[in-house]
Structure 1
Amino acid sequence: MKQLTFAPRHHQLTNINTWTPDSRWLAFDVRPSGASFTGETIERVNVETGEVDVLYRATGGANVGVVTVNPQKAQYVFIHGPENPDAGWQYDFHHRRGVMLENDIAQNLDAMDITPPFTPGALRGGSHVHVFSPDGEWVSFTYNDHVLHEYDPALDLRNVGVALPFGPVTPPCVHPREYAGQYWCALVSRTTPAPKPGSDDINRAYEEGWVGAHGYRKPDGSVQRRALAFIGDTRSATGEKIPELFIVDLPEQEADWKQAGAEPLAGTETTLPAPPAGVAQRRLTFTHSRAYPGLATTPRHWVRSNPQGDAIAFLMRDERGVAQLWLISPNGGEPQQLTAGEAGVESAFNWHPSGEWLGFIQQGSVVLCDAKTGAITPLTQRHSPSGDAVVFSPDGKNVAWMAHKDGYQQLWMAETGHK
């Protein structure tokens, strides 16, 4: 176990894609905690030498954080808050954007247009937790909407979106807070303010993950090249919130992304932007009748597919109420319980690049879990690590996480014994 950072300040890792492709650098931000958003820099540390680089420094009173790295090249994407915030426009779920950084050049990922008629390909609010697809071409994010937040906050539903290299998108920029973006953006989840009890309706889509390094194989033998799995909040027959697992199959061609379905791509003054015609949303888990229904929301986790694309991992409580790892095919079927220990899973998790193990926190230790047997191998002694992130290096040789020391959250690394 090796401590990587030592400065008397906090260091925050995002839950996935924090390593550079060469497995030599870890990207992080300097928020004092995962819940606040007051950091001003995006940085990285060399895991071999301890050298720290400042990659980006915000100006104009803006704050930045939640950085991830392109799996294929030295390109970064992170949340950027508004410059020159004032009483009428401050950082919020619906007031933030993605910024991409490559070769010291920063550009907006998503465009913003809050003046009707709205611009297809632009967003109308805030994007969050930007994650590159395994091939580094597309970016997923979660989203909240300024237009509906102003109209009726109850209609500003959390959704999942995708940024695609089919831009740039340049709105008229009538409002002083509007801006252009390099990528074409579209929402891919479909939500409704009032889900019908007992149905597949959801009013919140979140904690998404890309399915497979190259997609997944359907029952008919065809390959779905790109898909996202996510958690969606359903309603039980008695109206209780039950988080279930969903998947959206995504079209490949640019023309498909620019073709509207039954509702406008850019939304209206009273409705959210709508998914393109070729996006298909499907429910994967049906847990309403279980003793502890729904996916576990404690600890917070993001659903994650193995690189092979035949298993999506998520947390769900067992018959004792303990959060365990479960696996399910992207084609559906019965979930299979992987872990069964009384300690359960205490953190977000990720797959090892080989797809043979998963990493997470259990009883205060970073552990490896065999993806076939559920057998647990501790990698560290107990030292109260953070449950926000356990992230493998691309070469599979190391795993990184966060833990407090001397009052500050620092970055740590251990060898996995695998590659």
Structure 2
Amino acid sequence: MTAMTSSRLYFLGVALSLAACGPSKTVETNMNLKEYQLTSDAKGHYLNQRQAFSPDDQWLVYDNRNEGSHIGLNPSVEMVNIANGKVKQIYSAPNTNEFGPGVGAIAFNPKRNEIIFIHGLSNYDANNPYDFTRRTALAVDLGKNNQLIRKDARDVVPPFTPGALRGGTHAHSYSGDGSWISFTYNDDVIAELFKTDSSKKDLRNIGVMIDKGPVAVASETAESFDGTMFSVIVSETTESPRPGSDEIEKAYEEGWVGTNGYVKADGIRVSKALAFLGDTRDANGQLVAEVFVVDLDTDLTMADPDRPLEGTTTSRPFPPAGVRQRRLTYTADRKYPGVQGPRQWLRSLPDGSMVFFPMKDKDGVVQVHAVSPSGGDTRQITHNGFSLDTSFSVSADGKYLAYGYNQDVYLTNIQTDETSKVSPDRSYDSTDLDNINWSNEGHVLAYNRKLVTADGAWYQVFILK
């Protein structure tokens, strides 16, 4: 931590504790905290929406996209030192072109010097470009000369292999102990089947990679290959959810519940769990996104009878035995039903007692709400006169939410619901505030701004101390 930091940290806690509580609990005051621009090259520096900080909080990782949707066009990932702005390239894909391979969405392991990111398949061309079903998880061990590690095995040729997937993984996130990895998933086998059978749709799901590998496939090719971890799908989707039921047609935007799971109402601890969004259909058949949870404290290598982990030629992979998703929110009767607002991977308190999500209040303003992973009533956390327009991040001590509105960074005290603006006034032209990350120790916020210059507008990395 540099000298420029220490004089600023005290004010963050004091200013929030002194914030007056108005009708909306929003305090439009600037705390005069210091913002620093870490990158400046005329290219993208796109942070992940979580786990961007190294375990020691000295580095931030990012990819070189300049548009959030351009992973397929991006060739490289880098890291920048938050004390001196030194940039290091971590990985650059060889032979890149407009079809792939595609690299991005990089995250740091919270416990060791390892990063993970999306990497498209190696046999990319005009007929087989980077796509949802054609990507995998590539890790880099920064402590071993940037050794490359393929995490998820893939097998698209029947008979399929338990522990291997048949599609693409995305939005990888380490569990609190750094041992497991969550991801969203699209199945290539079903996507191909859809071309001849429209009743079989490639529905997004969520899964986990666990430390039960390695997994070897029968024959390695560009489409099928070994992996170091055992992968399973833990959600279950259906093409036609029954109206008014808990069935879903999409599982997405998952987040780990707590750094060490959560404690159920009966006092029993669930060691690992994922909260996620599930698209339901209300009684009138309208799409409503709700919050779900799946407990993972069981042997994930075991399958139910007639429900193979690896799936079949006509079915998606099935969740392990004893793993069943559970619905937490029921919002269809609200004036503004369902999870709504900026794209948000779900977050929770460090102790796992609350899961946070965005939803409109009775006035149509997007606020942060929360629900227990055990279920029950929801609680509105923010009471602002504006709709947050970025994703949000939770501090390591579980006291604050950080998010953006109108290019400014705001903090909300989770206990008091009081909100304060913390970013300083800007002397530069910028847009697209996004990807707010709280450091592991909680002393620094990192985020993207697209800085407008005479030569163009580029995503740059900023920190607030």
Question: Kindly tell me: are residues 174 and 19 of structure 1, through their superposed partners in 2, closer, same or farther at Cα, counting changes over 3 Å?
Answer: closer
1:333 equivalent in structure 2: 376
2:285 equivalent in structure 1: 239
1:48 equivalent in structure 2: 83
CA distance in 2, matches of 1:175, 1:50: 40
2:21 equivalent in structure 1: none
| CA offsets 1:361-405 (integer angstroms, 9 cap, x no match) | 023211111011211121213665535411011111000000111
Is 1:93 the counterpart of 2:132 in the alignment? yes
CA distance in 2, matches of 1:242, 1:150: 28
Write out aligned runs for 1:123-138 (5 A).
Answer: 123-138=165-180
Q: Which amino acid aligns with 2:444?
A: N
1:310 equivalent in structure 2: 353
Is 1:285 the counterpart of 2:335 in the alignment? no
Choose from 393, 401, 407 the match for 2:439: 393
CA distance in 1, matches of 2:207, 2:69: 22
CA distance in 2, matches of 1:174, 1:40: 24
Shift of 1:51: 0.3
Choose from 270, 273, 276 the match for 1:227: 273
Write out aligned runs for 1:183-202 (5 A).
Answer: 183-202=229-248
3-state SS of 1:32 partner: coil
Q: Which amino acid aligns with 1:179?
A: F
CA distance in 1, matches of 2:432, 2:398: 23
CA RMSD of aligned residues (A): 1.3
1:6–1:410 Cα contact (<8 Å) kept: yes
CA distance in 2, matches of 1:59, 1:167: 28
2:407 equivalent in structure 1: 364
1:166 equivalent in structure 2: 212
3-state SS of 1:334 partner: coil
CA distance in 2, matches of 1:235, 1:387: 33
| CA offsets 1:187-238 (integer angstroms, 9 cap, x no match) | 0011111100000000100000000111111111110010000000000111
2:363 equivalent in structure 1: 320
1:79–1:127 Cα contact (<8 Å) kept: yes
Is 1:299 the counterpart of 2:365 in the alignment? no
CA distance in 1, matches of 2:57, 2:416: 28
Q: Which has the higher contact order (CA 8 A, sep 6+)?
A: 2
| CA offsets 1:63-89 (integer angstroms, 9 cap, x no match) | 211000000111000000122412332
CA distance in 2, matches of 1:246, 1:387: 28
CA distance in 1, matches of 2:431, 2:267: 42
Question: Kindly tell me: are residues 387 and 226 of structure 1, through their superposed partners in 2, closer, same or farther at Cα, counting changes over 3 Å?
Answer: farther
2:50 equivalent in structure 1: 16
2:138–2:149 Cα contact (<8 Å) kept: yes
> Which segments of structure 1 move beyond 2 Å, counting only runs of 4 or more?
60-63, 173-176, 381-388
Question: Kindly tell me: are residues 388 and 404 of structure 1, through their superposed partners in 2, closer, same or farther at Cα, counting changes over 3 Å?
Answer: closer
Q: Which amino acid aligns with 1:41?
A: S
3-state SS of 2:378 partner: strand
CA distance in 2, matches of 1:76, 1:40: 16
1:146 equivalent in structure 2: 188
* Alignment gaps of 5+ in structure 2: 1-34
3-state SS of 1:49 partner: coil
1:250–1:280 Cα contact (<8 Å) kept: no
CA distance in 2, matches of 1:393, 1:362: 20
Choose from 236, 247, 250 the match for 2:296: 250
| CA offsets 1:41-67 (integer angstroms, 9 cap, x no match) | 110000101100001111243221100
1:115–1:175 Cα contact (<8 Å) kept: no
3-state SS of 1:266 partner: coil
Shift of 1:310: 0.6
1:3–1:410 Cα contact (<8 Å) kept: yes
CA distance in 2, matches of 1:247, 1:275: 13
Is 1:83 the counterpart of 2:118 in the alignment? no
1:7 equivalent in structure 2: 41
Q: Structure 2-normalised TM-score?
A: 0.86
Q: Which amino acid aligns with 1:69?
A: F
Is 1:118 the counterpart of 2:164 in the alignment? no
Question: Kindly tell me: are residues 176 and 410 of structure 1, through their superposed partners in 2, closer, same or farther at Cα, counting changes over 3 Å?
Answer: closer
CA distance in 1, matches of 2:432, 2:347: 19
2:68 equivalent in structure 1: 34
| CA offsets 1:135-176 (integer angstroms, 9 cap, x no match) | 000000000010000001652110000001111111112654
Shift of 1:268: 0.5
Query: Aligned pairs, how many?
Result: 411
